[in-house]
Amino acid sequence: MSLVLLIARNEGRLMRRNRVAQLAVLMLLLLSVVATLTSVAHRDASDALRARFQAQADSAFDGQPARHPHRMVHYGHFVFRPLPALAAFDPGVDPFTGSTIFLEGHRQNSANFGDVRQSSLLARFGSLTPAFVLQVLAPLVLIFVGFGAVAREREQGTLRVLKAHGTTTGALVAGKLLALGTIAALMLLPALLSLAWLVAVEGAALAAAFALGFGYAGYLLLWTVGIVAVSSAVRSARTALMALLSLWAFAIVLVPRVAPDVALAMVPSPTRLETDIAVHRDLRRIGDSHDPDDPHFNAFKADVLRRYGVDTVELLPVNYRGLLAMEGERLTSGLFDAYARAQFKGEREQGNIVAAFGLLSPTIALRSLSMALAGTDLEAHRSFLQQAEAYRYAIVQQLNQLQAEAVTYADDGSRNSDPEAGRRVRIDPRHWHDIPDFAYRGPSLHERLMAAGLSAAVLLVWALLVGLALRAAMRRLGRAF
Amino acid sequence: MSLWLHELRLFLRQPVALPTLLLMLLLSGASVWAGLSEVARQRETIARIQPQQAEDEAALAAWVPERGDAGDAAYYSFHPTWDAPSTLAFAALGQRDIAPYILRIRALALEGQIHESENYNAELALPGRFDWAFVLAYLAPLFLILLLHDIFSGEREAGRHQFLTVMARSSRRMWARRVLLRGGLLSAMLLLPFAVGALLSGSGLPALAVAGVAALYLIVWTLICVGVARAGRRSLANAASLAALWLFLTLVAPGLALLAINGAIPVRQGVELTLAQREAVHAGWDKPKAATMDAFFRYHPEWRNTPPVEGGFHWKWYHAFQHLGDRSVADQAAAYRDGLKARDLWTRRIGYVLPAVGAQVAIHRLAQTDLEAQQAYEDRIRAYYDRLRRFYYPYIFDDRPFTAEDFQRAPRWQEAPPA
């Protein structure tokens, strides 16, 4: 064991002498700190802003004057997606999805004002967050520090000297791993501190933060072992550097960009406009409430009259127009749901294709793991969309119900010709207070851990592969002794 | 000439040479193919929506004239707009994957419609596109580093440096020849697929400008490589320094710049203006009708002498407060737009210092896939929207019935004339 420590200490001394490596590690640590501070500040500011806008929208809704309930259906409501605390570590898809949706009757709108659309081209270079620093930059710095670990000894013929002193291949490699692993741990430190801070101060879930730290530690360990394995397997330090740089460019820069193109080519997404047109087409097929001969709405009317035991809509104890609005909303919302489900299904298929590329690049697997644990993956956004849609449906139907119960059929029909009736259909604004506020429920810890499961499995496969590569490299090295 | 051939033979004999060149060719080719197919997909989508749109319109034209109400026609008619990709868009897709290139609008207040986003899979957009501009800006410098970092030190480490310098008629020319050969071959591998793509999509002169920008970018990186290589350290140290420089110039510095720009120029007005616009529009229902109409007539005096609005509801009053809603947030909309422009302007300035940013900015401008192009599309939507509004107004203000033929008379979206 002391031999391993001795080798590690010796390697550490060499690393300290390497100016490029030193500079790289320093730069990375500095970037980590900058990324952490700005990322936390940005998350806090965004979240506070969203909370303020939400409060503003809620009070604006509650403060509306006396109105016809259907007017409120069109006035609609805004909901904002709050940012989970761990978004300060990995913002995930949040900058791309937009954080606010306008909810109104008869329509399903999309989320708007994503950061990326409001940023310049620079946003597509990747934004500096703790997750980005660890996913993309840390492996590269590790490569600079560690590429020569074993290859250099081999090149300079010091391997034979070590052998003469009784060093085994195992001890040599273990010592190098220990030295490089220490650097990796050092690079992980600012991120771990920021996670601890997010748990302690911002109330992030401890288990999720712990799993995140564990995931990133495993990822850096993968690279550490991979770097030592390549350094052991090749003849010269130069070849090791070239091979490792190529691996880095392939796994971190290239594959993550190519995978989405493949996914899009295999599963195309329909445009919003086409979905809109399709919804309208299907609606026309179902029925037109304006058409006196429409079979669907005639059947609906007959059913309502039968239920209340009256002969005409005028004799109903409730406002038939309100019932009609409820039926119409039920039909459109059913269609929205069907199309949204189809879209989510397509997105999940695309996501699965990208996930399969995780077998070519551990970075893809780590990225999904990280976003899932932080609660900033697409699944969490979809959950927001579904909750917003459920909320939209609930408030629109509540308002339609008000139209059915608080407004008479006669007044509703003559509200445009008779000013008195027009006044009576404006119901008391206290009703707006009775509409509940939107409460977003983020993915639970259990859901987040489950969502991260598949990526964790892919990373384990990588651990196995890298372990095997190290064993093969050690065998070659043993022969070279 | 024979000297060049000799150098070529020497170069190709190196084990790293041919694989590097072929890989560059492959990656460049793949990116051009990906770009061309994405552009074809976008054109196909634009073509595909036309018959669907026509069907949608026909269905509307079948029931509106029964009542002959122009208000219904204006309210229910969605008019498609689209922004076809330029012939160079395949090389630099820009934000065309996340900003809508198709948008339907109707003659209601525009501000509530124009910021609508497209359905796209955010997880796919997250890493950025694999297009030719990406291969140029990120990957080509790495390949140059691979080929040039040891151009002097490699010979020195092999013990041939002295010999070579003495043997050559002009050592300066010899080294220049080597650098030119390596850089030139790599550039050719990168530019060849682009040229094929440009020919296939018929992009003409601007393609030459893109090639010029690319050449300039590669020259900058060649100079950086030669500069570091001449500092006279060992190959390994050169490679590491160059890779670190690459990392800083293409990933770290742009990331820091983004933080700085977004911090210095906040643009949360997007949400604010939508919230404000909704308030303005819906307040219209409760204001005295005469006040609303008077305010509207200030912008449109030509309708002042039409019959006054009486009773509960009239479409002209509805359209009046829709328009006033837009007018009330016009300043905010302009500020939002200016904020985005300011961010873009600063990005351009960063581009003077950071070669990767400069090259991206220039190529996206030439390919018309940058913010300026997006805003130009928005401008055309605004102009078209104005035409639509003015098309419906005479029917609504003069109470003219809207017939099936009138649907045919509605202004149609015009594609932008090629630049």
Q: Which of A378, A368, A372 is nearest to A343 (CA)?
A: A378
CB contact under 8 A, A132 and B138: no
Put simply, the chain B residues between 88 and 127 with a CB less than 8 A from any chain A CB are 94-95, 98-100, 102-104, 112, 115-127
- Inter-chain residue contact A113 with B263, CB threshold 8 Å: no
For the complex shown, is ipTM > 0.85? yes
Report the gap between the CA of A324 and the closest CA in chain B (Å).
19
Flag the least confident range among A147-151, B177-181, B223-227: A147-151
CB B312 within 8 A of CB A419: yes
Two tokens at B195? 């040229």
pLDDT tens for each residue of B99-114: 899 999 999 999 889 9
- pLDDT for res B1: 66
Q: Which residue of A has its CA nearest to B138?
A: A253
Sign of the torsion angle spanned by Cα atoms A201, A205, A211, A215: negative
Query: What number of other Cβ atoms are within 10 A of residue B166's Cβ?
Result: 8
For every residue of B79-129, DSSP letters joined together read EEEE-PPPTTTTT--TTTTTS-SEEEE-SS-SHHHHT------HHHHTT--
Q: Beta partners for A78?
A: A102
Neighboring chain A residues of B94 at a CB cutoff of 8 Å = 121
Closest CA to A219 of A90, A97, A93: A90
Note the pLDDT tens digit of each residue in A252-311: 988 999 999 999 989 988 888 888 889 888 988 887 766 667 888 889 999 999 999 999
**Cβ contacts of B260 within 8 Å, gap of 6 or more:** none
B292 is written with which tokens?
């609303």
Q: Among A267, A304, A272, A246, which Cα is nearest to A112's?
A: A272
Q: Global pTM?
A: 0.90
- Between positions 256 and 275 of B, the ones with CB within 8 A of A are 256-259, 261-263, 267-268, 270-272, 274-275
Contacts of A253 in chain B (CB under 8 A): 138-139
B contact test, residue of A40, A121, A132, A145 with most B CBs within 10 A: A121
pLDDT of residue B103: 93
In the predicted model, is pLDDT for residue A391 greater than 80? yes
Q: Which among A261, A86, A279 has a CA at the least distance from the CA of A191?
A: A86
pLDDT at B179: 93
How much is the pLDDT for B418?
60
Q: In a 3-state reduction of DSSP, which class is residue A271?
A: coil
Contact A27 B252 (CB under 8 A): yes
Q: A306 to each of A140, A294, A298, B137, how far by Cα in Å?
A: 74, 18, 12, 71
Type and span of the H or E element at A80: strand A77-80
Here the tokens at position A132 are 């980005």
d(CA B71, CA B43): 33
A129-170: pLDDT as tens digits? 999 999 999 999 999 889 888 888 888 888 888 888 878 888
pLDDT confidence bin for B217, thresholds 50/70/90: very high
Mean pLDDT over residues A179-206, rounded? 93
Backbone φ and ψ of B300, nearest 5°: -130, 70
Alpha-carbon distance B85 to B43, whole Å? 7
Q: What is the pLDDT of residue A359?
A: 94
pLDDT tens string B196-211: 999 999 988 999 999 9
Q: Which chain A residues are Cβ-neighbours of B256 within 8 angstroms?
A: 34, 128
Burial class (CB in 10 A: 0-12, 13-18, 19+), B412: exposed
Instruction: Judge whether residue B21 has pLDDT over 90.
Output: yes
pLDDT band of A114, cuts 50, 70, 90: confident
Q: With H, G, I as helix, E, B as strand and everything else as coil, classify residue A18.
A: coil
3-class SS at A262? helix
CB contact under 8 A, B41 and A65: no
- Confidence class for position B363, pLDDT limits 50, 70, 90: very high
Region of A157 on the Ramachandran plot (φ > 0 left; ψ -120 to 50 alpha; else beta): left
* In contact, B396 and B77? CB cutoff 8 Å: no
Compute CA distances A317 → A307, A309, A313, A339, A406, whole Å.
11, 10, 9, 36, 11
